[in-house]
């Protein structure tokens, strides 16, 4: 028998992978829009790129969400469990579709926020001496701008940057980068094997590294955040990949379901336990759990606020989705081994995040440490390791995503009154007022903004009639039902500590006297206004009428192994 005959015979036994294109359609749409966005950057005239990108990205995300609804209706309406496609590389089951839907809703708000062009206006520094006091008419040479640098090669606050803006140099690359990140995030919780999961991790991480360094304001702080996120993210990805190698060495497979079956059938679990530990490092880094949390305050503070809002909401959803799939599907047989470690991580994350937040005087850094605390709360649902814990985790991710996005979007509209001063350079609107002292009296000067921001803070604190109360009650109940009463007690203590710094901000806004240089509220366009309004409505609705979403989350709490 010739070599050619043997090769042909071997190829004849290889079956082509079955691909469920309908189930994959939401991700296909998002990735396709991202690729088209790259082509727009390459070939479209500069004058039309901004509007083209904005319409294309928003339209693509809406279409992808409609596709998710269609997939859910078609796959799960009659008790179906979903689909395993591409030879097991992708699993479209109930948790994956639920998280993809929430991700897309948050991403729609994020892309609209990134397209905001009313919060920034620039003018040549040569006219600074001619400006009048703040609140006067806008000079004739001012130009509307977004919150991203128009030219990475330009020195901030110079005539060169103004000329770049006047010439239409807008960093429209943020739109295709965001779409590619969204596509990776949608794939991350739907992966059926560790290799595909690593690819998804890199696909959504690489665009975020770039987006973090594109801030128009505080450029060095932004670039530092980008570099720090990149370096630490690269290390965490290396841990994840190294863990996958150990798991493969111990089980002979990378498929999540096959890993679980191999572990249960094996007497020697050493390599599997080591691999799980290394995988956990990579995943815990992405959710910002202690001790892998140090990047979050610096990155959240330095990144452009639209990117911070997007990361705070969407990255947590994707990372927790992947974490749930790895621990529930692949390593359920090692539950006795990883649960005690999960307890320690959850306790440290809740307490350290809350304690560190108390010491902060910058609002963005305070919310960054708050996000660390909430990662600890969400871990309580993960550790419960049952359907109730999974459903509670899904609901918490939904509630937290909208509240945190709304909080960061609100921060962006509160700006220093530094028009014409040297500190603002060519920027007329003043930079974001993020110091706690600057927010004194804001609620009395602008009750609407103060009330909305207070609503988000009360939700973070878990006050009744907000989404945060229902979310915390759900994960605490799941944890207590699974024997984690100690975790619940520590969670309540952590919530009390966290409530202090949330209430401190509210007291400052409504009961403290305004400083002499009190910031102003800049009226944004409908792109940002609608996002803040939606987040406010969802935060209240999930606190007053939570049952439909709770039922949906409970219905979605079933993995397809």
Question: By the 8 A CB rule, do 97 and 186 touch?
Answer: no
Residue 120: what pLDDT? 78
pTM: 0.93
What is the maximum alpha-carbon separation in the chain? 92
DSSP output for 319-341:
HHHHHHHIIIIISGGGHHHHHHH
Rounded Cα gap, residues 325 and 47, in angstroms: 44
Q: Are 379 and 345 in contact (CB under 8 A)?
A: yes
- State the first-to-last Cα distance of the chain, in angstroms, to the nearest integer: 42
Give CA–CA dist 55/25, Å, rounded. Answer: 20
Q: What angle do CA 137, 448, 106 make, to 5 degrees?
A: 100
pLDDT tens over the chain, length 561 residues: 555 555 555 555 666 677 888 889 999 999 999 999 999 998 988 888 989 999 999 999 999 999 999 999 988 877 777 788 888 899 999 999 999 999 999 999 999 999 988 887 776 655 554 554 444 445 555 677 777 877 766 666 667 777 777 776 778 899 999 999 999 999 999 999 999 999 999 999 999 999 998 888 788 888 899 999 999 999 999 999 999 999 999 999 999 999 999 999 888 889 999 999 999 999 999 999 999 999 999 999 999 999 999 999 999 999 999 999 999 999 988 988 999 999 999 999 999 999 999 999 999 999 999 999 999 999 999 999 899 999 999 999 999 999 999 999 999 999 887 654 444 555 456 788 889 999 999 999 999 999 999 999 999 999 999 999 999 999 999 999 988 899 999 999 999 999 999 999 999 999 988 888 888 888 899 999 999 999 999 999 999 999 999 999 999 988 876
Q: Within 13 A of 408's CA, how many CA atoms are on the CB side?
A: 31
| 286-290-291-293 Cα dihedral, nearest 10 degrees | 50
Between 447-461 and 485-511, two packed helices, what is the crossing angle to 10 degrees?
A: 170
Q: 256-260 contacts: CB < 8 A, separation 24 or more?
A: 256/91, 256/191, 256/192, 256/193, 256/194, 256/325, 256/326, 256/329, 256/330, 256/561, 257/88, 257/192, 257/329, 257/330, 257/561, 259/194, 259/330, 259/331, 260/329, 260/330, 260/331, 260/332, 260/333, 260/561
C-alpha–C-alpha distance, residues 411 and 367, integer Å: 11
Q: Which residues pair with 362 in a beta bridge?
A: 435
Structure tokens at 263: 């572990």
- What is the C-alpha separation between 538 and 557, in angstroms, rounded? 21
Q: Reduced to 3 states, what is the DSSP secondary structure of residue 92?
A: strand
Kindly give the interhelix angle for 363-384 and 335-358, rounded to the nearest 10 degrees: 160
C-alpha span between 500 and 485 (Å, rounded): 23
The 10s digit of each residue's pLDDT in 213-267 is 888 878 888 889 999 999 999 999 999 999 999 999 999 999 999 999 999 988 8
What's residue 221's pLDDT?
A: 86
């Amino acid at each position: 028998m010739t070599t050619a005959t043997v090769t042909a015979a071997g190829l004849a036994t290889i079956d082509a992978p079955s691909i469920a294109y309908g189930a994959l359609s939401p991700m296909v749409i998002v990735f396709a829009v991202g690729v088209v966005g790259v082509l727009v950057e390459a070939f479209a005239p500069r004058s039309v790129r901004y509007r083209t990108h904005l319409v294309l990205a928003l339209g693509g995300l809406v279409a992808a969400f409609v596709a998710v609804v269609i997939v859910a209706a078609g796959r799960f309406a009659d008790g179906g469990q979903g689909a395993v496609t591409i030879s097991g590389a992708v699993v479209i089951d109930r948790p994956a579709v639920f998280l993809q839907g929430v991700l897309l809703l948050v991403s729609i708000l994020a892309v609209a926020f990134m397209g905001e062009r009313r919060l920034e206006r620039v003018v040549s520094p040569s006219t600074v001496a001619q400006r009048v006091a703040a609140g006067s008419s806008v000079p004739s040479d001012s130009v509307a701008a977004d919150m991203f640098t128009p030219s990475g090669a330009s020195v901030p606050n110079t005539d060169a940057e103004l000329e770049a803006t006047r010439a239409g140099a807008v960093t429209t690359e943020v739109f295709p980068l965001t779409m590619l990140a969204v596509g990776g995030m949608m794939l991350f919780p739907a992966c059926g094997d560790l290799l595909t999961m690593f690819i998804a991790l890199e696909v959504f991480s690489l665009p975020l590294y770039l987006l973090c360094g594109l801030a128009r304001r505080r450029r060095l702080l932004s670039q530092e955040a980008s570099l720090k996120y990149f370096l630490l993210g690269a290390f965490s990805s290396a841990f994840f990949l190294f863990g996958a190698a150990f798991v493969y060495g111990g089980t002979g497979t990378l498929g999540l379901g096959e890993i679980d079956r191999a572990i249960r059938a094996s007497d020697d679990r050493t390599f599997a336990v080591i691999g799980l530990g290394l995988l956990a490092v990579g995943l815990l880094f992405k959710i910002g759990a202690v001790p892998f949390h140090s990047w979050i305050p610096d990155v959240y503070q330095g990144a452009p606020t639209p990117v911070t809002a997007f990361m705070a909401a969407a990255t947590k959803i994707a990372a927790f989705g992947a974490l749930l799939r790895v621990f529930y599907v692949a390593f359920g047989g090692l539950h006795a081994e990883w649960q005690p470690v999960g307890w320690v991580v959850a306790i440290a994350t809740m307490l350290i995040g809350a304690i560190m937040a108390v010491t902060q005087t910058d609002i963005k850094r305070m919310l960054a440490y708050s996000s660390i605390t909430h990662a600890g709360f969400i871990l309580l649902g993960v550790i419960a390791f049952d359907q109730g814990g999974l459903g509670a985790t899904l609901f918490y991710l939904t509630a937290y995503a909208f509240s945190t996005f709304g909080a960061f979007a609100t921060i962006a509209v509160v700006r220093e009154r530094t028009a014409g001063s040297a500190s603002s350079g060519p920027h007329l609107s003043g930079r974001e007022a993020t110091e706690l002292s600057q927010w004194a009296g804001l609620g009395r000067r602008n009750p609407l903004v103060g009330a909305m921001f207070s609503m988000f803070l009360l939700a973070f604190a878990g006050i009744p009639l907000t989404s945060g109360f229902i979310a915390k009650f759900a994960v605490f109940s799941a944890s207590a039902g699974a024997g984690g009463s100690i975790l619940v007690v520590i969670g309540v203590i952590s919530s009390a500590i966290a409530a202090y710094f949330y209430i401190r901000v509210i007291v400052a806004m409504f009961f403290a006297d305004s400083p002499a240089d009190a910031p102003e509220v800049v009226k944004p366009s409908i792109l940002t206004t609608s996002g803040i309004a939606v987040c406010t409505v969802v935060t209240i609705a999930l606190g007053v009428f939570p049952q439909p979403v709770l039922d949906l989350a409970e219905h979605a709490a079933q993995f397809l192994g």
